[in-house]
Amino acid sequence: MRNFKILSVLLYVAGAINLNAQKPISRQPESLDRGIVAVRTDPNSVFISWRLLATDPEGIGFNLYRGERKLNKKPLTETTCYTDSVTSDEIYKVKSVIKGREQGESSSCMVWKDGFLRIPLNRPPGGEMEREYIPPDRRQGQTQPRANANNSTLPVRMSQTQNRRQYSYSPGDAGAGDLDGDGQYEIVLKWDPSNARDNAQDGFTGNVILDAYEVDGRQLWRINLGTNIRAGAHYTQFLVFDFDGDGKAEVVCKTADGTVDGKGKIIGNRDADNVNERGRILTGPEYLTVFNGLTGEAMQTVDYVPGRGNVCGWGANECNGNRVDRFLACVAYLDGKQPSLVMCRGYYGRTTLAAWDWRNGKLTMRWLFDSDKGFPEFMGQGNHNLSVADVDDDGRDEIIYGSCAFDDDGTPIYTTRMGHGDAMHLSDLDPDIPGLEVWAVKETGGWGSVMHSAADGKILLRIPDSTDVGRGLAADIYPNHRGYELWSSRTGGIYNVKGEKITSSLPPVNFRIYWDGDLQDELLDRSYIDDWDYINHKPVRLLDASKYGGVSINGTKATPVLSADLLGDWREEVIFRSTDNNSLLLFTTGIPTQYRMPTLMHDPVYRLGVAWQNVVYNQPPHTGFFMGDVIKKK
């Protein structure tokens, strides 16, 4: 049977099929509870689902209880979901059954009465900027700033009585991790000020804030990144993961002088103000900090590597901070056993990746790749996103960095020389050829939309286009076509992995999600989830979160706060922000499924995709195997 690169995940169908029997488990999956969830689907029905784990023995069954009443006569072994005909809202509990004996452990939940869970937030207060950038042609009698040795400009204080601007906060991207070791996921949320700026724009911004919440809304801590971290999609990439294997996730991100941790402690110089007259931060120290996931306390802070160096040397000879402050981040099992964090800087020109280990309370660098150190062909080959997978089948992860890839030891593997792009997707897109594939869209060079081998960069499919192709998506939405379907904002329709055009209809080009009961992807765009009618080539609405006050984030990118398999069975959940920005709305499916398999969070490619989902131009997580080959046993 073909190796689907699931590594640590044992996939079960009807409790009987193991699709990955060849490889032993080499990396330890997260220790999770059953994640039971119950949602009222109509006045007379409650839908309940729970997790199967990759570590569960084959043939495990479950007993489901409403209150103290067991609902099943025999252990449930065919699926991990159940529809209960009941009008009252009670507590549900699930217990595992192994070799006919009910186990002592259990997981319980209350019914979500509204069909979703509202997570209340402690919204930070907004404020008024004391300084505002005034373009040179609007300045009257002001002294022009002088350049310093780093080709940036020295700070200039503006009058506190002119050009004041109010700003407020709204929920932004989120990450998920078990911060307290109870087997359940908590949410780490980034708050974005309304005056956040793209790197291409001058201007002052409010501070970036990170919060941690239990799903019941209890706030664990708040980290204020301070004045010397600019707000915008490209600046703060945060990772939520258990890096040291103690069962509790840490939070890692770039920090600076004036960052305030979850205990109120200041990192660096409290009074430092390195913001220049354009609102840019091109001088002053840069740090990398590991925070305690439970308390938000800064456990260690080191210099961010690499530093800015020559701010003009990161692409296009731009000296204003547009290229130097382009950051990416990911988690990778570089030794095949324990996770490392990889912090990246640059992709338009100079390209750098720095791998770090957090072990025994100490942060140490594993390796550093720098295109300036003899690798000019790897300059300008990065994306606004990245992906991680074991693409060479050696048990250790590689990093796919847009049009190039790096081995587990930081050695560059290949570059397609197709340059920068805004979106990419990695999975077993074509299950009929060995290995994993990448579907990506390109910005320049007329490359258009391209599928290449993740292992060696070989071009497998290309749909040329002379323009900047801004969006692309890979998803399996046609059960009558083997493999994924591929499209972009410029393909003029949907293609299969062999390059054959299926239809001129164009679905949304945003996120994919597992929501209904089949093995195909659904489409997630803005606040909607649609099934794809593969007969009539059109979307069919399954969820409209806007009816409940749920809206997307990231402006025209229109992405969710987070999409991931957070609860219940193998289908995914989605989190939106509320229209008043005071809460998050967590939705789970209420549709039964005949398929049973472990949580997707125990598939390494998928779990690491959730870890990097918040990075810059968000992309949805994908599994490291082709879901269409999970066929129900007859």
Which of 158-162, 233-237, 477-481, 570-574 has the lowest average pLDDT? Answer: 158-162
Cβ(200)–Cβ(243) under 8 Å? Answer: no
* CA–CA distance, 303 with 79 (Å, rounded to integer): 49
Please report the pLDDT score of residue 134 as a whole number. 74
Interval 4-32 mean pLDDT: 48
Q: Per-residue pLDDT averaged across 525-535, rounded? A: 98
pLDDT at 133: 81
Residue 343, token pair as written in the block: 């912090």
pLDDT: is 146 or 51 the higher one? 51
pLDDT tens per residue, range 259-305: 999 999 999 999 999 999 999 999 999 999 999 999 999 999 999 99
Name the band, by pLDDT with cuts 50, 70 and 90, for residue 131: confident
Q: What is the pLDDT of residues 179-220, one digit of tens each?
A: 999 999 999 999 999 999 999 999 999 999 999 999 999 999
pLDDT in tens, 74-94: 999 999 999 999 999 999 999
- Helix H or strand E encompassing 612: helix 604-612
Which pLDDT score is estimated for 137?
64
Residue 383 pLDDT > 60, yes or no?
Answer: yes
Q: Which residue has the tokens 């940036």?
A: 152
Q: pLDDT over 90 for what percent of the chain?
A: 88
Element (H, E) at 184: none
pLDDT at 106: 86
Residue 132 is predicted with a pLDDT of 81
CA distance 185 to 599: 13
Distant-in-sequence contacts of 610-613, Cβ < 8 A, 24+ apart: 610/175, 610/176, 610/562, 610/564, 611/175, 611/239, 611/240, 611/241, 611/330, 611/331, 612/239, 612/328, 612/329, 612/330, 612/331, 612/385, 612/386, 612/387, 612/388, 613/173, 613/175, 613/562, 613/563, 613/564
428 contacts 603 by C-beta, under 8 angstroms: no
Higher pLDDT, 288 or 151: 288
Q: Would you say residue 151 has pLDDT above 90?
A: no
Going by the DSSP 8-state scheme, the letter that residue 521 receives in this structure is P
Q: pLDDT exceeding 70 applies to what percent of the chain?
A: 91
- For residue 18, is pLDDT > 70? no
Is the entire prediction scored with pTM above 0.85? yes
Look at residue 138 and tell me whether its pLDDT is greater than 70: no
pLDDT tens figures, 581-616: 999 999 999 999 999 999 999 999 999 999 999 999
Q: Rounded to the nearest 10 degrees, how much is the dihedral formed by the CA atoms of 79, 85, 87, 92?
A: -30
* 536-561 mean pLDDT: 98
Q: Is the pLDDT of residue 128 over 90?
A: yes
Q: Tens digits of per-residue pLDDT, 445-456?
A: 999 999 999 999
Q: What mean pLDDT comes out for the span 423-433?
A: 98
